[in-house]
Amino acid sequence: TTRVMEALALSRRPLRLPVSLSRASYDVVIGTDLISRAGGLLAPVLPQKNAIIITDNNVAPLYLQKLEDSLHETGVRTRSLRVTPGEQSKCLTIYQHLTDAILEQGVERRTTIIALGGGVVGDLAGFVAATTLRGLPFVQIPTTLLSQVDSSVGGKTGINTRWGKNLLGAFHQPLCVLADVTTLSTLPRRELVAGYAEIVKSGLIGDPALFDWCEKHGAAVLDQEPEALAEAVRQACAFKARVVAGDEREEQKSNGRALLNLGHTFGHALEAELGYDGRLLHGEAVSIGLHLAFALSVRLGLCPAEDQIRVTQHLENLSMPTHIRDLPQTFAVDDLMAHMQRDKKMQDGRLSFVLAHGIGRAFTTQDVPADAVREILIADGA
Ligand code: NAD
Ligand code: MG
C-alpha cells in the first residue's frame, strides 16, 4: 500500500526540479499525467495564450489531442505541425518547412513553440524557436526516456547537415520542461533501454548514489513502474542540471560538460560504423561504451577492477548490450580506431577520452595511448 500511496501522491503533486542558469532559470516538472494537466501547469509561464505545437507522426496520435484539450481549457490557442518520425527530420529541409509554415500563418514574438516528442522533435523545434524572429519562447514536453533525462535539459538545440550531426544549432533555454512519465508506457522497450543507459552514465560520471539506486531499482525502471521512472528521471535531470549549471555553454576544456561524453567516444565509433541507420540505437552504443570506458580505465591502472565488474554486471543483469561481440554486426578494429581518431583529433598516438578512477569518479584526459584502446577493442570482440 505504501507504493500505491506514493503513486497517488506522485500523480497529484509533480516534482519540480529548478534549473538555475546565469541569465534565466526554469523548472523541470516531473510526474504522471502531466499532459492532461499541461494547461494549468503552463499557464503561469506562457507569455501569451498562444502556442504552436511541433510533434511527430508517432507521438501525435497518442498525445496531441490530450495536450490541445488541456491547453484549450485554460484559454490557450494552439496550432500544430507534424514531422516524420526519426533522425532524418533533424535537417534543413524540414527546418525550412516548419519555419515557412509558422511565418506564413503569421507569428508574434510572444507565441510559444512547444516541442511534444523525443529528442529529435526537441532539438528541431528548439532550433526553430531559437531562430524564428531571433527567438521565440519555448517549452519542452519530452516523451522518450532519453529526452526526459538528457536532451531536454541543458538548452542545446540543433539540426544535422550533410557534414555531420548537430552542426547547426543554438543554445536556447526553455521556459519550462514537462517530463510526463506516463507517456513512457507507449515507448518501445529498446528506446526505454537506450534512455536508461544515459541514466546509468550520469551515476558513473559523478553520482555514485545514483548508480547504487540503479542497481536496486533499474529493473523497475525498465518495467515502467511510474514511481521508479519518476525517481530515475528526477535524479538524472538533477545531475545533468548541476553539470550544465557549471558549464552552460560547454566552454570548459576538461571536466564540465565534457564529462557527459563518458562512454560516447566508443559509442559514437560503433554508431558511425553502422551509418546511424537504426540497427544500433545511440543509448545501446553508450551501454557498450560505458563497459569499454571502464575496461580501458582498468587496463591503464586507473580504476579498480571491481568497479568495472560492477558496471558491466549491472548492464548485463538488465539485458543491455555490453560487448561488441554481443552485436550481430562485425566491426574491424582499424575502422573503429579511424573513427575515434577523426572524432577526437589524435595527437602523437594519444587520444582524448573520458575515463574513470571508479564509479562516480569520471575525468577527462588527452593522454590515452592508442595501443591500449586497440587492445580493449580486440578483447571485446572487434
Ligand atoms: P526520437 O526523438 O527519434 O524518438 C525515438 C522514437 O520514439 C521515435 O520514433 C519517436 O517517434 C518515438 N516516440 C517518442 N515518444 C514516444 C512515446 N511516448 N511513445 C511511443 N513512441 C514514441 O529519439 P530520442 O532518443 O528521444 O532522441 C534522440 C535525439 O536526441 C538525437 O537526435 C540526439 O542528437 C538528440 N539529443 C540531443 C541532446 C541535447 O542536449 N539537445 C542530448 C542527447 C540527445
Ligand atoms: Mg548521449
Model confidence pLDDT, tens digit, residues 289-307 = 999 999 999 999 999 999 9
* Atom 22 of ligand 1: nearest residue by CA position: 187
Q: Which residues line ligand 1 (CB under 6 A)?
A: 56, 58-59, 62, 85-87, 90, 117-121, 123, 143-144, 146-147, 150-151, 154, 156, 166, 183, 186-187, 191
pLDDT tens for 92-101 read 999 999 999 9
**Nearest to 287, CA basis, from 307, 318, 315:** 315
Please give, one letter per residue, the 3-state secondary structure of the chain.
CHHHHHHHHHHHCCEEEEEECCCCEEEEEEECCCHHHHHHHHCCCCCCCEEEEEEECCCHHHHHHHHHHHHHHCCCEEEEEEECCCHHHCCHHHHHHHHHHHHHCCCCCCCEEEEEECHHHHHHHHHHHHHHHHCCCEEEEECCHHHHHHHCCCCEEEEEECCEEEEEEEECCCCEEEEEHHHHHHCCHHHHHHHHHHHHHHHHHHCHHHHHHHHHHHHHHHCCCHHHHHHHHHHHHHHHHHHHHHCCCCCCCCCHHHHHHCCHHHHHHHHHHHCCCCCCCHHHHHHHHHHHHHHHHHHCCCCCHHHHHHHHHHHHHCCCCCCHHHCCCCCCHHHHHHHHHHHHCCECCEEEEEEECCCCCEEEEEEEEHHHHHHHHHHCCC
Rounded to an integer, what is the distance from CA 377 to the centroid of its chain?
26
Whether the pLDDT of residue 372 is over 80: the answer is yes
pLDDT band at 4 (very low <50, low <70, confident <90, very high): low
pLDDT tens for 236-258 read 999 999 998 888 888 887 778 99
Look at residue 181 and give its three-state secondary structure: helix
Ligand-binding site membership of 46 (annotated):
no
Look at residue 362 and give its three-state secondary structure: strand
* pTM for this prediction: 0.94
Query: Ligand 2 centroid to 267 CA: how many Å?
Result: 9
Distances (CA, A) of 109 to 50, 71, 114, 174, 194: 10, 19, 14, 15, 36
Q: Are strands 50-56 and 112-117 parallel, antiparallel or unpaired?
A: parallel
Q: Which residue has the higher pLDDT, 124 or 276?
A: 124
Taking residues 7-27, what's their average pLDDT? 80
pLDDT band at 7 (very low <50, low <70, confident <90, very high): low
The CA-based angle 173-175-178, given to 5 degrees, is 105
Q: Which of 89, 138, 191 to mutate to test the pocket of ligand 1 (most atoms within 8 A of CB)?
A: 191
Point out the ligand 1 atom lying closest to the alpha carbon of residue 157: 41
277 Cβ contact partners less than 8 Å away, ≥ 6 residues apart: none
Ligand-binding site membership of 112 (annotated):
no
pLDDT band at 164 (very low <50, low <70, confident <90, very high): confident
Q: Give the Cα separation of 380 and 364 in Å (integer).
A: 22
Q: What is the mean pLDDT of the chain?
A: 93
Query: Ligand 1 centroid to 91 CA: how many Å?
Result: 15
- Is the reported ipTM for this assembly greater than 0.95? yes
How high is the pLDDT of residue 78?
A: 97
Query: Ligand 2 centroid to 161 CA: how many Å?
Result: 19
Ligand that comes closest to the CA of residue 170: 1
Query: Ligand 1 centroid to 242 CA: how many Å?
Result: 22
Ligand-binding site membership of 143 (annotated):
yes
pLDDT tens for 114-143 read 999 999 999 999 999 999 999 999 999 999
Ligand-binding site membership of 111 (annotated):
no
Whether the pLDDT of residue 155 is over 90: the answer is yes
pLDDT band at 5 (very low <50, low <70, confident <90, very high): low
Q: Give the Cα separation of 124 and 104 in Å (integer).
A: 19
Query: Ligand 2 centroid to 101 CA: how many Å?
Result: 31
Ligand-binding site membership of 248 (annotated):
no
Asked whether the beta carbons of 85 and 187 are under 8 A apart, the reply is: no
How high is the pLDDT of residue 128?
A: 98
Ligand that comes closest to the CA of residue 194: 1
